[in-house]
């Protein structure tokens, strides 16, 4: 785009507009004569004057003339002149005193501003002006110190982002009470590594936390300082970044802070030596987390199971990695709370059920097994008789399945006021036939139907040629049909009742 005369310039402005004319004349500048003629002939036209103020190759004396003849309301033109790199020092000095803050902000962003005007703008009453001069690459170093003590965080945030930020100024800003200033400072990629190391070594939680959020990789020494921070909010995330070394584990295991030992107890693959230290920890919480570890050593687990550490034993009872032998020990734990948690496991075998049901002297665990509607016909006589006399209907219904119950007890259960008990005793092959027939007339239609089916099943077995009149086949067939692997009819989330 060749513009040599004022007519060419007017035609171009009318056809393309100011912005396209400025872009189109970057390689072939508009003649100075055309620019001066445009102002002399159209100084009263704000659009043309604004174009001249924005034109990056305007003659300096023309810019000065426009600045001198500006009217107070021509703020947009003044701001364009203030931002123009061709504006002279005289023009910038004049505009730096403009009443409108947006004009002064434009001057503060101009890289050609003089040190004197930098000082004036650094003391400007408007915070936005001071923030703008704080970003200016022409700002003298001594003014960085002045702006570092500014009352407005916005000014210090702008200062913190400088590429040539003075080291002492950076150190001063690191002690600023505003977290926004510290955040801006830590995002400055031009900071010296020594500064980052110094901040990592300081006992400043906010600075150390910001260092952890750095997107650029931290040096090994900085990472080490953060891993040994006195603040858990810094220390633990730093430790999570890489595997914890054995010296660090020992340091955490012997820490005076409970949170450190609890944190360590939650780590996977702890060495046996560290586990032994934590197993004797004074913190109940640390011992509990250790007992829940998937990598818990067998000898340590056995020591916990044999102890009176209730919380640790409860955690051990819920540990999916606990061995069958260990679970067997917990089945007979003196505290019913531990055994109750064992009763809700999915991996119990016949030995476990026998210990939970037949070998415990309390009824609490059996009540929870009964509540889960577990079918276990191998209840021993003493336990079955005790359960049958319980005030808990679920426990009586559970006992009604037992093949070891006496005839008198079965008769009593067949007349139990609770339907669930009568429904359960119907399926007991040792129930006398008279009582079974009586249950065919039970008020509950479901029980009556079940009794009729039980009679039909008995008759079918007795009429089979290969069958014996001995009751043993009946019992054997029924016992086989009830797997000890417990079909649970209750939602598994009832375990939440026992959660700590």
For the chain, the distance separating the N- and C-terminal CA atoms, rounded to the nearest angstrom, is: 80
Output the six-digit token pair for 114: 């003089």
Is 365 strand, coil or helix?
Answer: helix
Burial 41-75 (b: 16+ CB within 10 A, else e): ebeeeeebbbbbbbbeebeeebbbbbbeebeeebe
**Cβ atoms 439, 447 nearer than 8 A:** yes
What pLDDT sits at residue 469? Answer: 44
In angstroms, the Cα distances linking 282 to 200, 215, 338 are 31, 39, 21
**Cβ atoms 49, 81 nearer than 8 A:** no
H-type alpha helices, 175-245: 179-186, 193-201, 205-212, 220-227, 232-240
Residue spans per domain, the chain: 192-236, 377-483
Task: Say which DSSP state 439 is in.
Answer: G
The whole-angstrom separation of Cα 380 and Cα 405 is: 8
Is 251 strand, coil or helix?
Answer: helix
**Cβ atoms 8, 34 nearer than 8 A:** yes
The whole-angstrom separation of Cα 78 and Cα 110 is: 13
The whole-angstrom separation of Cα 98 and Cα 67 is: 11
The whole-angstrom separation of Cα 185 and Cα 165 is: 10
Output the six-digit token pair for 249: 């584990």
| Whether the predicted model's global pTM rises above the 0.75 cut | no
Residue 444: how many other CB atoms lie within 10 Å: 14
The whole-angstrom separation of Cα 139 and Cα 158 is: 12
> Phi and psi for 479 in degrees, rounded to 5?
-65, -35
Is 459 strand, coil or helix?
Answer: helix
What pLDDT sits at residue 222? Answer: 95
The whole-angstrom separation of Cα 242 and Cα 180 is: 29
Rg (CA), the chain: 44
From first to last of the 500 residues of the chain, give the pLDDT tens digit: 677 888 888 888 888 888 898 888 888 888 889 899 988 988 889 999 999 999 999 999 999 999 999 998 999 999 999 999 999 999 999 999 999 999 999 999 999 999 999 999 999 999 999 999 999 999 999 999 999 999 999 999 999 999 999 999 999 999 999 999 999 999 898 888 999 999 999 989 999 999 999 888 899 999 999 999 999 999 999 999 999 999 999 999 999 999 999 999 999 999 999 999 999 999 999 999 999 999 999 999 999 999 889 999 999 999 999 999 999 999 999 999 999 999 999 999 999 999 999 999 999 999 999 998 888 889 999 999 999 999 999 999 999 989 999 999 999 999 999 999 999 999 999 999 999 999 999 999 999 999 999 999 989 888 887 544 444 444 444 444 444 434 444 444 344 344 44
Q: Is the four-CA dihedral 271, 274, 275, 276 of positive or negative sign?
A: positive
Is 344 strand, coil or helix?
Answer: coil
Nearest alpha carbon to residue 52 among 112, 3, 121: 3
Report residue 24 CA to chain centroid gap.
54
**Cβ atoms 316, 304 nearer than 8 A:** yes
**Cβ atoms 331, 345 nearer than 8 A:** no
Residue 363: how many other CB atoms lie within 10 Å: 17
């Amino acid at each position: 785009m060749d513009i040599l005369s004022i007519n060419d310039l007017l035609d171009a402005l009318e056809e393309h507009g100011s912005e396209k004319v400025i872009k189109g004349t970057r390689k072939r500048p508009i003649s100075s004569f055309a620019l001066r003629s445009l102002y002399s002939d159209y100084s009263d036209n704000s659009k043309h004057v604004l174009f001249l103020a924005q034109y990056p190759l305007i003659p300096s004396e023309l810019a000065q003339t426009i600045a001198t003849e500006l009217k107070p309301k021509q703020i947009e033109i003044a701001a364009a002149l203030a931002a123009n790199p061709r504006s002279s020092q005289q023009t910038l000095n004049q505009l730096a005193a403009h009443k409108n803050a947006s004009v002064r902000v434009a001057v503060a962003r101009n890289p050609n501003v003089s040190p004197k005007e930098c000082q004036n703008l650094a003391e400007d009453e408007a915070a936005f002006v001071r923030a703008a001069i704080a970003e200016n690459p022409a700002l003298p170093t001594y003014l960085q110190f002045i702006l570092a003590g500014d009352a407005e965080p916005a000014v210090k945030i702008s200062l913190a982002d400088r590429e040539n930020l003075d080291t002492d100024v950076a150190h001063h800003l690191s002690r600023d009470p505003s977290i926004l200033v510290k955040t801006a400072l830590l995002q400055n990629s031009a900071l010296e590594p020594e500064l980052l190391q110094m901040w990592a070594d300081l006992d400043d939680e906010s600075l150390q936390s910001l260092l952890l959020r750095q997107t650029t990789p931290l040096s090994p020494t900085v990472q080490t300082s953060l891993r040994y921070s006195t603040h858990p909010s810094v220390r633990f995330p730093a430790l999570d970044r890489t595997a914890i070394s054995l010296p660090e584990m020992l340091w955490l295991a012997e820490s005076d802070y409970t949170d450190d030992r609890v944190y360590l107890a939650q780590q996977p693959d702890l060495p046996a030596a560290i586990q032994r230290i934590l197993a004797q920890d004074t913190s109940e919480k640390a011992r509990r987390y250790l007992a829940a570890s998937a990598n818990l050593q067998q000898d340590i687990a056995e020591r916990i199971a044999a102890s009176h550490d209730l919380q640790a034993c409860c955690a051990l009872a819920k540990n999916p990695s606990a061995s069958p032998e260990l679970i067997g020990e917990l089945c007979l734990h003196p505290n019913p709370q531990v055994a109750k948690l064992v009763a809700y496991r999915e991996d119990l075998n016949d030995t476990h059920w026998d210990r939970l049901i037949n070998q415990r002297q309390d009824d609490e665990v059996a009540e929870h097994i009964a509540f889960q509607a577990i079918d276990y016909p191998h209840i021993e006589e003493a336990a079955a008789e005790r359960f049958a006399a319980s005030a808990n209907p679920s426990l009586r219904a559970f006992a009604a399945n037992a093949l070891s119950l006496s005839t008198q007890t079965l008769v009593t259960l067949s007349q139990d006021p609770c339907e669930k008990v009568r429904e359960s005793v119907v399926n007991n092959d040792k129930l006398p036939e008279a009582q079974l027939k009586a249950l065919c007339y039970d008020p509950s239609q479901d029980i009556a139907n079940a009794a009729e089916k039980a009679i039909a099943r008995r008759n079918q077995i007795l009429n089979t040629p290969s069958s014996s009149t001995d009751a043993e086949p009946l019992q054997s067939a029924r016992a086989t049909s009830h797997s000890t692997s417990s079909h649970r009819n209750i939602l598994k989330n009832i375990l939440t009742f026992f959660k700590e």
